[in-house]
Each structure stands twice: as structure tokens, then as C-alpha cells.
Chain A
Amino acid sequence: MSNNKVSRRQFLSYTLTGVGGFMAAGMLMPMVRFAIDPVLQKSEGGDFVLTEKKIADITEVPERVDFTFEQVDAWYKSDITNAAWVYKEGDQIIALSPVCKHLGCTVNWEGDPAHKNQFFCPCHNGRYEKNGENVPKTPPLGPLDQFEIRENDGFLEIGKAIPNTLV
């Protein structure tokens, strides 16, 4: 008998270790996969929506820019049109969400003739300054949200809403 012959005992132990290892891996893999799943999620950074607004046309007066994206709700797909109030402050372009922080109505720029240079919510007379800051003593308790923006070939692209960074 040569020395490198595998004994019955060794053979069994190798086989059991091998099979056991596969079984353990089969159980552990899904657990590890679940644990690191958030890391593997695709980042939502690509969610910018192209608008028809030219960067060069944006002025210091807030202007309403509509943008449409597809929303999938279970099996129901629909085109959602959202809007932003867009203006230029120095070199910076600002896009504010039109959703009132009180109960979610839509605010309008200079919607109330008595208050120039402010956003106005017609529901409960809430007002915001041009930078989105809520006017004290009106119902809203926080500033308007801001949209992430970027430029694409001279046109404005609007991303997701973020808390106001100007106030």
C-alpha cells in the first residue's frame, strides 16, 4: 500500500466536510445577501427629469416649470406632471417645490396682490419669501423644499426634492 492512498476514514471525513460546507454556504449566503442588500441597491441619482426650460431663459423672477415623469403604482402606470418654481440668484439657479409645507396645497408666486415678491398659498393664506422661507404668523411651519438641478445640453434637469438649503 502506498502512503498517499486515501483511507476509508479520510475519505468519509473529506466528503462530510465538503457536503457540510455546501449546506452551510447555502444557508449563509441568503442571510449575507439580505444584510448587505441596502449597499447593493441602485442609487437614485439617475432620477433627473429633463424639462423644456433653457438655462439661458431663466430670470430672477420665479417661473413655473412643469416636468413629467412616469410613476408605476403596482400595475398601474401613469404620467405624473410636477412643477417647480425656478429662478436665478446671481449665478445660481434655484428650483423650489410648489408644495406648501402646511397641508400640501400648491403655492403661487405673487398669488396675493397684497404681498409682492412672495409665494402665496390660497388655501390658508400661507406665505413664503422668495428663497422659500415661511413667513412667520402664517400657517406653514417650515420652508419650501428645493429640487436638485443640473444642466443638460443647455436645458434644465430637475432631480429629487431636498430640504431647503437657502434658509
Chain B
Amino acid sequence: MHWNGKDSAVFQAQKEYIDTAVIPLIVIDGSEHGFGFAASAADYTLSLANLIENQFKGRIVLFPSFSYTAGQDKQSLLEIWKEELLKAEFKYIFFITSDREWSTMGDGHDVIWTPSVPLDSMDQKMRISVLEDQLRQLIPIFAKKWAN
């Protein structure tokens, strides 16, 4: 499900089945050397998130991406998001990002970190096959969490 009016109605009617929230985390970098890389990583993360939504449409709600700058307190960002989403009775909350800083924060936060692949120079077919490969690696992560 996407975060829009039509899907939110389905969500409210099918809460027992749709119990997982996915939030892409996107870093905004204004510096000269980081600008292009951050933009490319955002493109990749959002494409991957859309593919995850397509695969697990009936169980997850894909939220609009959360953008932040490097200086913001990451720990409290997560807490605020979780607190709000628990109100909507989500049982599982996943964050997906290719910002390396999250990977060092340790487990227990459900932040899925995937190294970004520059998709800019690829044609449509190549993009899809790269993203499908990534998705195949992510499916077990979701399945494992859901199995518990």
C-alpha cells in the first residue's frame, strides 16, 4: 500500500493483514563532494522501496521518505517515527536506507541498510534486474521478522 487516500481506506479495513510500515530514510547533503552521491543514493533507495511495496503490497504501507541532514540526531528521529506509527497499530516498522551512518547504529532498530548502486547510467532493463536482485536478498529479512 502507498500512503494515499485510496490505500489508506484499504489499510483501515484490513488492519489485521496490513501490519508493517516501511519508511525510506534519505540523507540530504549540500556539500560539493556529497551532493551528487546523496542524490543518486536517494534515487536508488526510493526505487528499491517502490519495488518492496510492489512485492509486499498487501502487507506493508510504504510511507513517504524521511529526509534529514547529517547533523540531526538520528536516534530521536527513529523514536519519534516509531511512537507515531504505533498509534496506527503497526506491528512491524522497517526503515530502509543507503546512508552508511545508520549501519553503525547497531541492531534492534529495524534499519535495513543496503549499499547504494548508481542507477543513473543503466537502462530500464538493467535497473530492474539490479533492483530485483536486491529485493531477493531483502525478502528473507522481512520473512524472518514476520515469522517471529
Contact status A106-B124, CB under 8 Å:
no
Q: In the complex, which of the residues B54, B58, B143 has the most CB atoms of chain A within 10 Å of its own CB atom?
A: B58
Contact status B128-A66, CB under 8 Å:
yes
Q: Which residues of B contact A122 (CB under 8 A)?
A: 55-56, 139, 142-143
Given A122-B139, A139-B17: A103 and B58 interface contact (C-beta under 8 Å): yes
Q: Is A104 interfacial (CB-CB < 8 Å)?
A: yes
Contact status B55-A105, CB under 8 Å:
yes
Which size bracket describes the interface of B in this complex?
10 to 19
Contact partner of B55 (CB less than 8 A), chosen from A68, A79, A106, A124, is A106
Q: Which residues of B contact A139 (CB under 8 A)?
A: 17
- Interface of A (DSSP majority class): loop
Contact status B17-A105, CB under 8 Å:
no
Q: Which residues of A contact B10 (CB under 8 A)?
A: 103
Given A81-B124, A123-B58: A103 and B139 interface contact (C-beta under 8 Å): no
Contact partner of A103 (CB less than 8 A), chosen from B57, B128, B142, is B57
Interface size on A, residues (CB 8 A): 15
Q: Which residues of B contact A102 (CB under 8 A)?
A: 17, 58
Contact status A123-B56, CB under 8 Å:
yes
Q: Is A96 interfacial (CB-CB < 8 Å)?
A: no
Contact partner of B58 (CB less than 8 A), chosen from A66, A68, A81, A100, is A100
Contact partner of A106 (CB less than 8 A), chosen from B17, B57, B143, is B57
Question: In the bound complex, how far is the Cα of B18 from the Cα of A122, in angstroms?
Answer: 13
Q: Which residues of B contact A105 (CB under 8 A)?
A: 55-59
**Mask of B42-72 contacts with A, CB within 8 angstroms, 1/0:** 0000000000001111110000000000000
Contact status B58-A104, CB under 8 Å:
yes
Contact partner of A124 (CB less than 8 A), chosen from B58, B124, B128, is B58
Contact partner of B128 (CB less than 8 A), chosen from A81, A104, A123, is A81
Contact partner of B59 (CB less than 8 A), chosen from A68, A79, A123, is A123
Residue in A closest to B20 when the chains form the complex, CB atoms: A123
Question: In the bound complex, how far is the Cα of B59 from the Cα of A102, in angstroms?
Answer: 10
Given A81-B128, A103-B10, A139-B17: A124 and B54 interface contact (C-beta under 8 Å): no
Q: A104 to nearest B CB, angstroms? A: 4
Additional 8 contacts, C-beta under 8 A, given A100-B58, A122-B55, A122-B139:
A66-B128, A102-B17, A104-B57, A104-B58, A106-B57, A121-B58, A122-B142, A124-B59
Residue ranges of B at the interface with A (Cβ–Cβ < 8 Å): 10, 14, 17-18, 54-59, 124, 128, 139, 142-143
5 contacts between A and B (CB under 8 A): A104-B57, A106-B55, A121-B58, A123-B58, A123-B59
